[in-house]
Amino acid sequence: MLVQQSSALKDEIMRLKKEKDVVILAHNYQIPDVQDVADFTGDSLGLSRQAATVSQKTILFCGVNFMAETASIISPDKRVLIPDLEAGCSLSDSITVDELRDWKKQHPGAIAVGYVNTTAEIKAELDYCCTSSNAVNVVNAIPEDKEILFLPDMFLGSYVAKMTGRKNMHIWAGECHVHAGIRPEDVQEKLNSLKDAEFVIHPECSCTTPMMYDVADGSYDQNKVSILSTEGMLNHVHQSKSKNFVVATETGILYKMRQQNPGKTFIPASDKAECQYMKMITLEKVYDALVNEKNVVTVPKEIADKARLAINRMLEIS
């Protein structure tokens, strides 16, 4: 019965989005049903770029709040909706705009580099935005004698500092509750259970820190390791000749991996790696947002214009 209801709701969503000329974007961490009704799936930056190129004037962004804000900043002429305005982000919440301003005052002249997983207000205070896939390139593009304030993710920051060799990088002590919860012992247990497994890992994971030196050598206890963004993970596992993978990121990504690679096995590094905020988006909420055209995400022009500068610098370096 539930399957029938779900199928009928999907059909209705597909009809409505055509009728109302709405494009649906869904993050890789969304539940399978929501990914199924999306026109495009991807990581937050890829989806925001997609938002700027689509012909539709209304975007329904199935992800968390900062992602919809970024889409709105990149595409100011479009209307951006989100199925649930309460879908936040523990990493984005780990720094406030007042804390960032105070930090900048303590380090006059420093270059502020912020992960895309931040609010529009924070982005407006940054010199550069970055993603997990281009953070190393962004930091390398900054003159070596310049101090860097890197925020808000301490695990991504540690990884970038290690890969760039920067000694003048200050790292904010923020974390994503999902990635921080993936422990080295979880990973080891899963790797031991799967023969010849490749290990793909998101740089926000706390397990990257003790593993970094091994990973720099290209292995971890004889397992091939790749540190990648979610989009990088999807591309890598598709091209790899390996058959077995242990995946260290939010479990939502496994749906697409299995869909695209039916002959391969994917297991999560931790079964508990679920984002409660991503999972707030349901088919019912997608339908409701479409029918009522509600939950419009807007960013004040002054903030959007400043934030766009940092985002555009990131896009140029990508």
Structure-block tokens of residue 158: 């540690």
Cβ(117)–Cβ(92) below 8 Å = yes
What 3-state class would DSSP assign to 91?
A: coil
Instruction: Say if residue 62 carries a ligand binding annotation.
Output: no
Instruction: Say if residue 75 carries a ligand binding annotation.
Output: no
Q: Is the dihedral of CA 67, 71, 73, 79 positive or negative?
A: negative
Structure-block tokens of residue 144: 């070596």
Instruction: Say if residue 282 carries a ligand binding annotation.
Output: no
Q: Are strands 198-201 and 219-220 parallel, antiparallel or unpaired?
A: unpaired
Instruction: Say if residue 277 carries a ligand binding annotation.
Output: no
Instruction: Say if residue 230 carries a ligand binding annotation.
Output: yes
Instruction: Say if residue 115 carries a ligand binding annotation.
Output: yes
CA distance 61 to 54: 13
- What stretch of H or E contains 149? strand 148-151
| Cis? peptide before 108, omega within 30° of 0 | no
Tokens 């091209």 found at:
239
What 3-state class would DSSP assign to 28?
A: coil
Instruction: Say if residue 229 carries a ligand binding annotation.
Output: no
Instruction: Say if residue 89 carries a ligand binding annotation.
Output: yes
Instruction: Say if residue 107 carries a ligand binding annotation.
Output: no
Instruction: Say if residue 90 carries a ligand binding annotation.
Output: no
Cite the annotated binding site for [4Fe-4S] cluster by residue number: 89, 176, 275
Cite the annotated binding site for iminosuccinate by residue number: 27, 44, 115-117, 132, 202-204, 230
Cite the annotated binding site by residue number: 27, 44, 89, 115-117, 132, 176, 202-204, 230, 275
